[in-house]
Structure 1
Amino acid sequence: MSKKKKIIIGGVLLSLIAVVIVMTTSTKKTDKFPEIDLQIAKKGDLINEQGTSENKYYKEYPKEIKTTFTTIVVPENRNDQNSRLISLPVKILHSLSENPKEPVFRLTGGPGSSNIKRAPDLWLLEDHDIVMVGYRGIDGSVILKTPEIPKSLVGEGDPLSLENLKNIAERSTEGFNRLKASGIDVDSYTTIDVVDDLEDARKEVLGYEKINTISYSYGTRLAYYYGLRYPENVNRSVLEGVNPPGHFVWKSQDNEDILSKIAAEWQKDPLCLERSPDILATIRNVQNTFPYTWRGIEIIESKVKLMMFMMSYNQNGIVQVLDAFIAAENGDYSGLAFLNMAYDQLPDMHGMVWGENVSKALSADFDPDHDYLSDDPEDALMGAEFSKIFAMKTYGGWPIKLIPEEYRKLQYSEVEKLLISGDIDVSTPCQNATNMLKYLPNGEQVIFENRGHQDAGNFQPKEYRKLIMDFYSTGVVDGSQIKNVPIKFHDAKPSFQKMGKMFRFIKRLGLTNFVSKFMN
């Protein structure tokens, strides 16, 4: 080994050691909610503690936000008078106003992610309390940990082959039965149960008459259902990245249309055309070389497509993906190898509770008459690979009961709603929200041009916040200040190629799991 190479390797190792030392010695604050003894508790019991939440990101607001930390007790199964009880955390960030208006219940995305965040959306505190009610199955006394699912999603070969989908079904059922054997009523961990938790918190714990909601992605489904079940309790509702009934399942053509729109933006830039005269052709040309092996890493088409989708939630991710395909067309597959290796880290995905994810998604949107394997054309550039995972239930996996039929289709809702969409959003395509408007006589949609799933508030934060605050105050929707923000195709930071080379090096050292552990 050359002296130069030894120096480089030594430097990388020292950097990794430094990162691990920082991660293991730093004291990371976590929310502490009061404990409640469920053996002697009754439905509706609660404990409050006062404290503060650290503000790390909003310089214009106080460093510490006055916060109430509450633990509430609710039935696990509201249809069973003898149901056991579970506890949920409720976090209230108190308004900076002396006379706050209706509180804003914040519903984050997922499913599979906690609804208890540190100090989000603090600009809302100018007029409102922010309330976060924990999602059952991930927050509180019951967590649907199911390592059987992510472990069956990774490994050698195509994770979405029929053989492996049947394996996922079998392993997921093992996890389901293990949870049931431990005393958990898994059928009681659905979107409807979460909505009723929100109502219990509003009525029995917090005593609010009317509330506003702000919801993101999966959270918009909860907000919509809450408006159907408890319309008299909602003042106004903001839904960003709208997920109507039926849309935990993605459609291949939607993603192909979004890629075509991105390609049309690419064609407007002469510098882009120098790199690739036809970016869609570049993607197809590279995909035609799969499976491909880069320095011992097998690049599998389905894994690349799955991660293309996940990484395309914002403008920067889209640019990184396109940059990786251009590099591959020129002989450097390291960026696509990174996507492949990143997929294999699913079992260690930070903050993800897979049992909660599949419980909420399958119980809401699974259709026993649908063939999930035939939706995706073989020539699709991105497709909707994640939708194939729904086939696990077709083959007997995760045997949770479906929610009532009335909630598995669109219904009319009189609640005043503001729908916010990005026109290059692969996760919640804007047309899904547009199609929903016919059922929302008091709903209006604002479409943000060239914004992905996570982009809405990033580029024009002042105008974005004003749009929402004005809607809460007056019911008026004025999106005229929201302007097009062109995609910066020449600014992929960091490049997947650099990440791929680094990740391969870490993998060769056998440190992948070690580093992932501390990153989480």
Structure 2
Amino acid sequence: MLESVDPVNNTHDSLFAMNGAALIRAAGLVCLGAASTATAAAAQARVEPLADCFFAAPETTPPLTQECGYVVVPENPDRADSPEIKLGFLRLSARTDDPQAPLFMLSGGPGNTFIKPESLLLFGDGFLGPVLDERDVVFLDQRGTANAVPVLDCPGIYGLPWTAHERGLDEAGALELGREALAGCVAEARAAGIDLAQYNSVRIAADVDAARAALGYDRIVYYGASYGAQLGQHFMRDFPDSLQAVVLDGANSLSRKSWVQERVRDVDVATDKLAALCAADAKCAQAYDIPALIGQAMALFDNGPIRTTYQDPADPGIRLDLTLTAADLANTIFGFQTGQIGIRSLPAVLTAILADGRTSAAEILGQQKGTAIVASRGATKGESAILMHMAVVCSDDPVNSADDMIVDPDASAYARAYGAAVLEEYIEFCRAVDVPPLPDDTDVDVTTDVPTLILAGDLDARTPVIRSELVAATLPRATIVEFPEGTHVQLGEINQCAGQILRAFLADPAAAPDTGCIADMPRRGFVLPDGTISVQ
């Protein structure tokens, strides 16, 4: 269930996706020396153009002048004999002969990409298109991702739900199967000469600066979504002189330890915000008590797992015997919390799950789990480059044991179950990847005096507003803009108000943003038991 999020494709609802799929301390890592690394990387970087772009632009894309290619950098700029790696880029040219500092856009995950057809749709006239009137836009892939060379993925891991079913494995057996598959991919990568220790946030930040220089820019405006927002803070720390301004969309602070450690708290904070939004909506408040619904649904598993069967409607020969656990329910709830469509339906779905107790829970959750297992049969791709994802996550304050998770005494059963499932998976997978940790001085919040706009959604269960507040606390020129009904990554939700505020910030980063459009944003409401919407 590797948790990651692609900001331009939230699979549960929006145009983008961070698919919910899915430390060892090694000796020998010294402080990476950002200044010397930056100089070496920038000096050795070069641009390798491509005659054809990475994909064909969709017919609905507005007229855009595109250039695609690779920025070629050393895998380890501290070594004279380092092999080269390639970072895919897509540049949209400004509609002026005298452009301002370009907008560099970095995706999340880690392991996701902005270089795909959906990203071009952002630049219609009604959203971010006017940005191109004044500046270039550069989508840059991080090392190891889909449009990089090499791609650090693990194709065999995506079909494991089906393989585990075929082998009759329980949850522990399935987890071990995943660890073995990832360990196999790690061995293959190392046999091919890939140094996984070079795939971390410090190296990637140096790549961004090397790309800036190679593409011919003195300074840039940096936009980062989700993990890209965390990466942006590393860039701010190591390369402040390369920045004109920064936009962080769905941010975590560097001082915060692994997000896995605090997933329980984050989930409960977001659930409380959702409950408050429902309570302020008369029709929703009359129909639902969201915390009570979640608690009652989790209590269905107090007497143990629920066993059921799933019949594939497309193939009568496929009939799965399933064991449903509290973790399955928790994963379902979290999935509905992560985007605009799902979050509006969550109370109605919980009501349906509870309708006939364990019987209705078996039907609904079994349908979902069975569909996912069958869909994984033969799968070789996901939204993230999983090996790159794990190398980055497992180099930055990785979790080593259950004791690493922060659990408040009053934490909900739902948050505990979800957090435990995430924790268990990352402990095992980080053991398989076995990369050295970043030095402790990378865990200090940045204090860079660069104008910074932080976009945050009040309903965000991945990076709740409390995380953005930690980021802003040490940045003297930071402004947080909170969206009361926003979930994770505002541009990914095609939040028109966020786009308006972003465009104004780019025009004048020193000015206080006009957030008046937030009050004018339409209420979306909740799905009620009769199928209508609660908007008053």
With structure 1 as the length reference, what TM-score do the two structures score?
A: 0.76
Within 5 Å, which residues of 2 pair with 1:338-353? Answer: 338-341=367-370, 344=373, 350-353=382-385
Task: Using the TM superposition, give the Cα deviation of residue 350 of structure 1 relative to its aligned residue in structure 2, in angstroms.
Answer: 3.4
Q: Does 1:301 align with 2:326?
A: yes
Which structure 2 residues correspond to residues 494-505 of structure 1 after superposition, within 5 A? Answer: none
Report if aligned partners of 2:472, 2:478 keep a CA contact under 8 Å in 1: yes
Give, in angstroms, the shift of residue 373 of structure 1.
Answer: 6.0
Offset at residue 233 of structure 1 (A): 0.8
Counterpart Cα distance in 1 of 2:157 and 2:280: 43
Q: Deviations over 1:66-89 (max 9, x none)?
A: 111222321111222111112222
1:391/1:274 Cα in 2 relative to 1: closer, same or farther (>3 Å)? Answer: same
Contact 2:309/2:366, CA 8 A, preserved across alignment: no
> What SS class does the counterpart of residue 54 from structure 1 fall into?
coil
Query: CA 1:356 to 1:159, structure 2 compared with 1: closer, same or farther past 3 Å?
Result: farther
SS at match of 2:350: helix
In the other structure, the counterpart of 1:501 is none
Paired with 1:343 and 1:467, the residues of 2 have a C-alpha distance of 38
Give CA deviations for 1:356-407 in whole Å, capped at 9, x if unaligned: 111111112315577246749885224434243221267x321011223221
- Tell me the residue number matched to 1:506: none
Distance 1:349 1:73, change over 3 A: closer
Following the alignment from structure 1 to structure 2, what is the Cα–Cα distance between the partners of residues 457 and 400? 31
The code of the aligned residue for 1:44 comes to A
SS of the residue 2:382 aligns to: coil
1:465 corresponds to 2:478: no
Q: Is the 8 A contact 2:233 2:446 kept in 1?
A: no
Aligned pairs (5 A) from 1:96-495: 96-118=95-117, 119-122=120-123, 123=128, 124-138=131-145, 139-147=147-155, 149-150=157-158, 155=164, 161=172, 165=175, 168-203=178-213, 205-245=214-254, 246-249=257-260, 250-273=262-285, 275-276=287-288, 278-290=289-301, 291-296=305-310, 297-331=322-356, 332-333=360-361, 334-341=363-370, 344=373, 350-368=382-400, 371-372=403-404, 375=407, 379-382=412-415, 383-384=418-419, 385-392=421-428, 396-455=431-490, 458=493, 461=496, 463-475=497-509, 476=511, 477-483=513-519, 485-490=522-527
Instruction: State the shift of 1:306 in Å.
Output: 2.3
Query: Structure 2: how far apart are the matches of 1:467 and 1:392?
Result: 42
* Deviation at residue 164 of structure 1 after TM alignment: 5.5
Change (3 A) 1:131 1:302: same
Q: 1:273 to 1:335 in 2, by over 3 A?
A: farther
- CA displacement at 1:273 relative to structure 2: 4.8
* Distance of aligned partners of 1:313 and 1:467 in 2 relative to their CA distance in 1, 3 Å threshold: same
Q: Secondary structure at the match of 1:89?
A: strand
Q: Is the 8 A contact 1:308 1:339 kept in 2?
A: no
Structure 2 CA distance for partners of 1:379 and 1:208, relative to 1, 3 Å: closer
Contact 2:490/2:498, CA 8 A, preserved across alignment: no
AA aligned opposite 2:87: L
Cα displacement string for residues 326-355 of structure 1 (whole angstroms, at most 9, x for unaligned residues) = 111113444433442465456656332211
| Counterpart contact for 1:71–1:88, Cα < 8 Å | yes
Question: Which string of whole-angstrom CA distances, capped at 9 and with x for unpartnered residues, describes residues 288-330 of structure 1?
Answer: 2233345444432212312422332222111233322111111
Shift of the 389–325 alpha-carbon distance from structure 1 to 2, 3 Å rule, reads same
User: Match for residue 69 of structure 2?
Assistant: 70
Aligned length: 445
Deviation (angstroms), 1:460: 5.2
Measured in 2, the distance between the counterparts of 1:57 and 1:223 equals 31
CA contact under 8 A between 1:223 and 1:239: conserved in structure 2? yes
Q: Distance in 2 between matches of 1:302 and 1:343?
A: 15
Gaps of 5+ in 2: 1-42, 311-321
Aligned mates of 2:268, 2:223 — CA distance in 1: 29
CA RMSD of aligned residues (A): 3.2
**Residue 158 of structure 1 contacts residue 303 of structure 1 at CA under 8 Å; is this kept in 2?**
no
Whether the aligned pair in 1 keeps the contact of 2:99 and 2:136 (CA below 8 Å) is yes
Q: What are the superposed Cα offsets for residues 466-495 of structure 1, whole Å, 9 maximum, x if unpaired?
A: 311221221222223222654421279x99
| Cα distance in 1 between the residues matched to 2:433 and 2:487 | 31
Greater relative contact order structure (CA < 8 Å, 6+ sep):
2
Partner AA of 1:263 in structure 2: A
Deviation at 1:270, TM superposition (A): 4.5
Letter of the 2:138 counterpart? V
Q: Who is 2:57 aligned against?
A: 54
User: Quick one: distance in 2 between partners of 1:430 and 1:294?
Assistant: 39
Name the CA distance, whole Å, in 2 between partners of 1:373 and 1:159: 24
Q: What is the distance in 2 between the residues matched to 1:110 and 1:173?
A: 20
CA separation of 1:441 and 1:153: change in aligned 2, threshold 3 A: farther
What secondary structure is seen at the aligned counterpart in 1 of 2:471? Answer: helix
Structure 2 counterpart of 1:442, one-letter code: R
How far residue 90 of structure 1 moved from its aligned partner, in angstroms, is 1.8
Range with greater deviation from structure 2 (127-136 or 149-158): 149-158
CA contact (8 A) 2:394 2:437 kept: yes
Question: What one-letter code is carried by the residue in structure 1 that aligns with 2:382?
Answer: H
Shift of 1:106: 0.5
Shift of 1:231: 0.4
Give, in whole Å, the separation in 2 of the partners of 1:148 and 1:96.
44
The one-letter amino acid paired with 1:380 is A
